[in-house]
Structure 1
Amino acid sequence: MEKSILVVNSEPNDINTIFKFYDLAVAHQKKVSPQQWQGFSKDLVKQEIKEYRQYKILVDGKVAAIFAITYNDPQIWDGKDDDAVYIHRIVTHPDFRGQNFVKVIINWAREYAKAAPIDYIRMDTWADNEKLLQYYTSCGFEHVGQKVVEPNSSLPKHYEGITLNLFEIKL
């Protein structure tokens, strides 16, 4: 039987689930990387939910993955003002890993772009993660460069002083 996969907006009552997913992601990052997320502000996530920029992927009604979007990312993308959707903080529950949710997100973004002025789908990840670089390019993203984040930026703490790989899909 085929699984039902839906991408829907997160709701205020999803906040605990979202932070549980972040905790699961950090636990996984500790196993596979010297770098980990340093936590996120509940106010930030509540604002994303309010602005319909926090999403969940449901598989047969269960939350399988989460992600957030924004429409500009000037500190990472050097102020590019192209019409774009920037994908952030993709987290897949361990029970659902390996199900290619990045491709689900790309398909969602392509559909989303039909109703919004979006020319690019963009994302970033730590540059020292070769496995993610290969995975994102296999999903259709083009690796378009790197960005060194300066210390004391206003970005979350885990961005400070690191190099990021930048990816985009031209629509």
Structure 2
Amino acid sequence: MEIKNCLTTDINEIMSIYEAARNLQIQRKMVVWPFFDETFILKEIKENRQWKIVIDNLIACNWAITFEDKEIWGEKDKNDSIYIHRICTNPTLRGNRYIDEIVRWSKPYAKQMGKRFIRLDTLGNNTKLIEHYTSAGFNFLGMVKLTDTANLPAHYQKEPNCCLFEIDLQNEM
């Protein structure tokens, strides 16, 4: 298993994994991600913000990161965090708890970037995801109602209730 930045040549595989995630979200009657335009994903790749776990030359899991997220985190966004978005698992490899690998990777990465927090969010009152993220070491900070969603992907505009999670690296010392 290896964690590394995605490459532009990964775009078809990433788009396929996103499609599988949307299908699972529909099947489970969850908040469904919109179709993400290839140019949006390619921009993240070129900015080294798309990451992947590779097993046997296959993308097992991928995610994106940002360094600011004011629309979701508001006043808590103080240039002291990495924000993890769109964790997505290859459908043939679901159930392997790649979140644990992401957390192990993100702690030294965030420290190297001079950040104190690792944060993520999920929409709606998804109790399974709340349990999943807290079991991986995230603190569940509660649910907030998003009010400024105009610049966020479409699924944030359909479901304003957002669960917030963080790992405070100051408590990890």
Q: Same fold (TM over 0.5)?
A: yes
Return the offset for 1:118.
1.2
Q: Counterparts of 2:102 and 2:30 in 1: how far apart (Å)?
A: 27
**1:10-29 mapped onto 2 (5 Å cutoff):** 10-29=6-25
- Aligned structure 1 segments of 4 or more residues deviating by more than 4 angstroms: none
Please state if 1:118 is matched with 2:115. yes
Return the offset for 1:56.
1.0
Q: Counterparts of 1:31 and 1:137 in 2: how far apart (Å)?
A: 24
Q: Which amino acid aligns with 1:64?
A: A
Q: Which moved more, 1:64-73 or 1:145-154?
A: 145-154
The alignment partner of 2:84 has SS state of: strand
Question: Residue 7 of structure 1 contacts residue 58 of structure 1 at CA under 8 Å; is this kept in 2?
Answer: yes
Name the structure where helix makes up a greater proportion of residues: 2
Q: Counterparts of 1:135 and 1:70 in 2: how far apart (Å)?
A: 21
What is residue 50 of structure 2 aligned with on the other side?
Answer: 54
Compute the TM-score of the two structures, normalised by the length of structure 1: 0.92
Question: Residue 82 of structure 1 contacts residue 119 of structure 1 at CA under 8 Å; is this kept in 2?
Answer: no
Return the offset for 1:147.
2.3
What is residue 9 of structure 1 aligned with on the other side?
Answer: 5
**1:82-93 mapped onto 2 (5 Å cutoff):** 82-93=79-90
The match for 1:30 among 23, 26, 30 is: 26
Aligned length: 167
The alignment partner of 1:35 has SS state of: coil
Q: Which runs of 5+ in 1 are unaligned?
A: none
Question: Residue 146 of structure 1 contacts residue 165 of structure 1 at CA under 8 Å; is this kept in 2?
Answer: yes
In the superposition, relative to structure 1, how do residues 114 and 81 fare at CA in structure 2: closer, same or farther (>3 Å)? closer
Q: Which amino acid aligns with 1:143?
A: F
The match for 1:150 among 136, 147, 150 is: 147
The alignment partner of 2:2 has SS state of: strand
Q: Which moved more, 1:71-80 or 1:147-156?
A: 147-156
Tell me how large the CA RMSD over aligned residues is.
1.4
- The percentage of counterpart residues that share the same residue type is 38
Q: Counterparts of 1:91 and 1:76 in 2: how far apart (Å)?
A: 20
